[in-house]
Structure 1
Amino acid sequence: MNTPLPSTAPFRRDAPAADRASFRAARRKAAVQALLLALPLLIFLLATFVAPIASLLGRSVQNPEVRDGMPQLSAALAGWKGPDVPGEAAFAALAHDLKGTGENGQLGNIARRMNFYQPEFRSLLFKTARATRSQTPDQWKPALIDLDARWNEPETWRLLKRASVSPTPDYLLNAVDAHVAPDGSVAPVAADSAVYRAAFARTVAISATVTVLCLLFGYPVAYLLATLPEKQSSRLMLFVIVPFWTSLLVRTTAWYVLLQPGGVINSALLHFGIVKHPLPLVFNRTGVLIGMTHILLPYMILAIYSVMKNVPPVYMRAAKSLGAHPAVAFVRVYIPQTLPGVGAGCFLVFVLALGYYITPALLGGAGDEMISQLIASQTNDQLNWGLAGALSCYLVVFTAVFYFIFNRLVGIDRLRFG
């Protein structure tokens, strides 16, 4: 005799209390089991994805170098308001802390941090640190001013005070070409020093252009794959899938070989007399767009194809039978049904293009730097992790904003893949 399985539907309110309690206990047990099964994956994601990103974003407001390395100076400057240079107590605290940083090896980190504010600050600190170890005057203020006149400038001390405050908005302001002026207001940096806002605009422009190109090239290919017989469609699909099996660096390097002045493309154009001189196809915006479009095109094709496969052909036949021209039926009947796939493909390509690094670095020129390249430069060359974190923070914000715009225009709940 078969025993009926217990129902998973909720009990009615008039069910016995013991049955309701047993049901809730079974649900809790099932939830705990599901959580335990997913726990290793959650821990892996936290350790390898969430924690590193959170750490990098946290560096955008952290400012520990001066505060931790020069605690007496930080405390002495906490009550200093300006506009004149601080008193003897701040100078004595500076001398004492510089002696200590020389002993514990923190002076290099402090000097590098201050150099982000003012390029000559590193030499000033090392020069002063050497002097403090070789002399013990009765008054440090006149001694340090005689050593270097910059210690008699309020701006020097203002920068030290700003560097001793944590958390700080300085990195986030620098990432949009702004800084805190001496009067405490936020002001733009000099025009010849403005880099990052133009880089953000360039990144968005390149990503949008690549998205449009992928849509123009990808939509016809996806339509062809969706309307061909299954056997032919599967064979052609290999040409879309195979790039996923090839390294990104290999594909970008291949374009580098093809696009250079003596490469295959220019050689063919010169051979057939189409051009008289090699075209500039690499180390400029053209090379970046060609390389990124080729690499991101499969994402657009697959997103649109997955929706097109679920579009019933009867709608097109019905429109044609009612007298609609095939082109009119395609535009007014078929295309609207594929818009969820178009939206998903555009969003996917755009977001991926925002963070691209290898392709612009190899195929682009000096005027085609994207935000990802500036982040890599700040972490690898400048060792300015705070500014790199601030740039990454804005990149995350941009991605979130574009996601909400996409969700508002297309809607995640409208996407159907299968």
Structure 2
Amino acid sequence: MPGSPTERAGAARRDWWPFALVAPLILFLAAGFLIPVLMMLSRGVTDHELASAWPETAQALRGWDGAGLPDETVVPILAAEIVGARKAGHLNLVANRLNYDRVGSRSLVYRTADALEGGAPARSFADLARIDPRWSEAGQWASMRQAAGPLTSFYLLASLDRRLSPQGAVERVEAEQAVFVDILLRTFKISAVVALLCALLGYPVAYLLATLPPRLANPLLILVLLPFWTSALVRTTAWVVLLQSEGVLNGFLIGAGLIEAPLPLIYNRLGVYIAMTHVLLPFLVLPLYGVMKGISPVEMRAASSLGAGPVAAFLKIYLPQTLPGLAAGMIIVFTLALGYYITPALVGGGADQMVSGSIAFYTNQTLNWGMAAALSLLLLLPLGLMLFAGRYLARTVPA
């Protein structure tokens, strides 16, 4: 039977007490991390530059069906807003945005602004065409319509080497501009190879730590944790010293007579694999070690007493129980590797840069935050699917 109202109120207070304790942390994470990240990612699917600088032009273009040229009444509106945006200092925003879609649009906008401020008439498309013939091209107006916002597919399509044609159909960009799909595939390939290398190298280490006596395992575990006390930048820089042509490793191999000329160990894919595997290896060893410590050695002895050989006992008894930890470790390594920027930039070549380098370029140099957000979304969506797959694998693996 339910208790008295006083008892129920007391139980409710006890249930909410843990949430009250973590509420400040949740609010801090929401204000300092979640909300800024969501605001940044929203830039990948929104378009505000043209609408903020030319609001009436944007409104007129949204009502246009995209066929041919828009109604000529938009011309004087556009002319007035170009001059107004120039005076307000906002013309660069829309000029840069249009230039992302059609190269040369920036010069078109500024040339038109100079002509209009010089007294050139702008009452019809013919007037604009006299300033610059590109105003008579349907594609120029179609790109402005796509930039009118507030929602846009431009950045996501561009991050997949696609774009909208003047007729609104999705088409491939020119071959010399198609770079992002290759970068994304390269990013996932490097991350997958690094996760596999960490699994191959980390499994024996975790097994050794889990099976040794504590007096020996604890010092070795400290060695595994030791890299966490040094930044990834310092560790990557150390690999530059070790792997370069005149570095420690090549010097040792040449001095030992094993090679005659230095091996190309850096500024290529091999250097990226070596450095990233070293940096991320502890993230696989630790979760796998935690799972292995929970496996009782009695089970292996029982399998041996029933006639199973060491290999069969390991494959049928021990390995299946470690798969959740192995999957968790590989997912952690893969996730961290996807976002690596410093290591490929320092030890990799031009053909080894990952998508994080492109995100940093668009964020810090060109200030094209929409493109940076779209590339980030392309990393997040497959990553989310992989995390769900990892949880499903962990539930389905037999204990």
TM-score w.r.t. structure 2 length?
A: 0.96
The answer to whether the 8 A contact 2:331-2:390 is kept is: yes
2:298 is the counterpart of 1:311: no
Q: Which moved more, 1:287-296 or 1:24-33?
A: 24-33
- For 1:227, give the aligned amino acid: T
The answer to whether the 8 A contact 1:199-1:371 is kept is: yes
Please, which runs of 5 or more residues in structure 1 have no aligned partner? 1-11, 14-18
The answer to whether the 8 A contact 1:357-1:373 is kept is: yes
CA distance in 1, matches of 2:120, 2:338: 55
CA distance in 2, matches of 1:158, 1:38: 50
Match of 1:16 in 2: none
Please list, as runs of the form range in 1=range in 2, the aligned pairs for 1:26-41 lying within 5 A after superposition.
26-41=10-25
Larger Rg computed on CA atoms? 1
2:281 is the counterpart of 1:297: yes
2:142 is the counterpart of 1:162: no
RMSD after superposition: 1.8
Match of 1:192 in 2: 176
CA distance in 2, matches of 1:242, 1:82: 61
1:333–1:157 Cα change, 3 Å: same
Match of 1:350 in 2: 334
Equivalent residue for 1:171, pick from 152, 155, 161? 155
CA distance in 2, matches of 1:82, 1:219: 59
Match of 1:391 in 2: 375
Task: Tell me the CA shift for residue 369 of structure 1.
Answer: 1.6
The answer to whether the 8 A contact 1:306-1:341 is kept is: yes
Please list, as runs of the form range in 1=range in 2, the aligned pairs for 1:10-29 lying within 5 A after superposition.
12-13=1-2, 19-29=3-13
Task: Tell me the CA shift for residue 142 of structure 1.
Answer: 2.8
Percent identical residues = 44
Task: Tell me the CA shift for residue 32 of structure 1.
Answer: 3.8
The answer to whether the 8 A contact 1:340-1:414 is kept is: no
Equivalent residue for 2:259, pick from 250, 269, 275? 275
Match of 1:366 in 2: 350
1:249–1:412 Cα change, 3 Å: farther
2:75 is the counterpart of 1:91: yes
The answer to whether the 8 A contact 2:154-2:163 is kept is: yes
Equivalent residue for 1:114, pick from 89, 98, 105? 98
1:142–1:230 Cα change, 3 Å: same
2:39 is the counterpart of 1:55: yes
Match of 2:221 in 1: 237
Task: Tell me the CA shift for residue 191 of structure 1.
Answer: 2.2
CA distance in 1, matches of 2:355, 2:234: 22
2:238 is the counterpart of 1:254: yes
Task: Tell me the CA shift for residue 293 of structure 1.
Answer: 0.4
The answer to whether the 8 A contact 2:138-2:166 is kept is: no
Task: Tell me the CA shift for residue 169 of structure 1.
Answer: 1.1
* Paired positions, count: 399
- For 1:224, give the aligned amino acid: L
The answer to whether the 8 A contact 1:87-1:141 is kept is: no
CA distance in 1, matches of 2:184, 2:4: 57
2:73 alignment partner, SS class: helix
CA distance in 2, matches of 1:397, 1:363: 28
Match of 2:362 in 1: 378
2:226 alignment partner, SS class: helix
1:175–1:323 Cα change, 3 Å: same
1:338–1:78 Cα change, 3 Å: closer
Task: Tell me the CA shift for residue 112 of structure 1.
Answer: 0.7
2:266 is the counterpart of 1:288: no
Measured against aligned partners, the alpha-carbon deviations of 1:106-139 in whole angstroms (never above 9, x if no partner) come to 0011111011011211011001001111105373
1:239–1:353 Cα change, 3 Å: same
Q: Which moved more, 1:136-145 or 1:208-217?
A: 136-145
CA distance in 1, matches of 2:17, 2:327: 37
The answer to whether the 8 A contact 1:304-1:341 is kept is: yes
Q: Which moved more, 1:276-285 or 1:137-146?
A: 137-146
Measured against aligned partners, the alpha-carbon deviations of 1:21-73 in whole angstroms (never above 9, x if no partner) come to 22221122223433322111011111221012101111111211111211222
1:414–1:55 Cα change, 3 Å: farther
Task: Tell me the CA shift for residue 180 of structure 1.
Answer: 0.8
1:187 alignment partner, SS class: strand
Measured against aligned partners, the alpha-carbon deviations of 1:142-166 in whole angstroms (never above 9, x if no partner) come to 3321111111111111111111121
1:411 alignment partner, SS class: helix
Match of 2:111 in 1: 127
Task: Tell me the CA shift for residue 368 of structure 1.
Answer: 1.1
Measured against aligned partners, the alpha-carbon deviations of 1:343-401 in whole angstroms (never above 9, x if no partner) come to 11111111111111111111111111211111111111221101111111121111101
1:229–1:79 Cα change, 3 Å: closer
Task: Tell me the CA shift for residue 250 of structure 1.
Answer: 0.5
- For 2:137, give the aligned amino acid: E
Please, which runs of 5 or more residues in structure 2 have no aligned partner? none
Task: Tell me the CA shift for residue 414 of structure 1.
Answer: 8.0
Task: Tell me the CA shift for residue 306 of structure 1.
Answer: 0.7
- For 2:83, give the aligned amino acid: K
Match of 1:72 in 2: 56
